[in-house]
Amino acid sequence: MRLGDSIAIGVGVQVEKERRLLLMISVALAGVCVSVGGGISFLGLIAPHIARRLVGARHAKLLPLTAILGSLLLLSADTLGRVIMAPMELPVGIIISILGAPYFIYLLVKNI
């Protein structure tokens, strides 16, 4: 599949069926990881992808930016959770899921 649709079809792979299957498997794996690790661990799946879009694949810049971006996203989600419903607080994991799920779905659909 990495060599292109024409080669995959030539080898006998049903490309659309495989794409759907791989999309479902990746969504299920991400869901299992988040359910086991908790809502905040979802940030660990999203922050590296956002950082890679900003600086590319250069690890010397990618790793520090991922750490900074992850901490800023967590801090902003915590602040938003405290401010949205002033007397009560929303859990940080819910805010991160609301902000990160659309981007994660976009990544899954774009790459497959």
What are the residues whose beta carbons fall under 8 Å from the beta carbon of 62, sequence distance 6 or more? 48, 51, 52, 55, 56
Domain extent, residue 91, equals 5-111
- Pair 102, 42: CB distance under 8 Å: no
Radius of gyration of the chain (CA): 18
* 83-99 per-position pLDDT tens digit: 988 788 888 888 888 88
21: pLDDT confidence band, cut at 50, 70 and 90? very high
pLDDT, tens digit, 9 for 90 and up, residues 33-62: 778 877 777 788 888 888 998 998 888 999
In this predicted structure, what is the pLDDT of residue 7?
87
What is the reported pLDDT for 42? 78
Domain count, the chain: 1
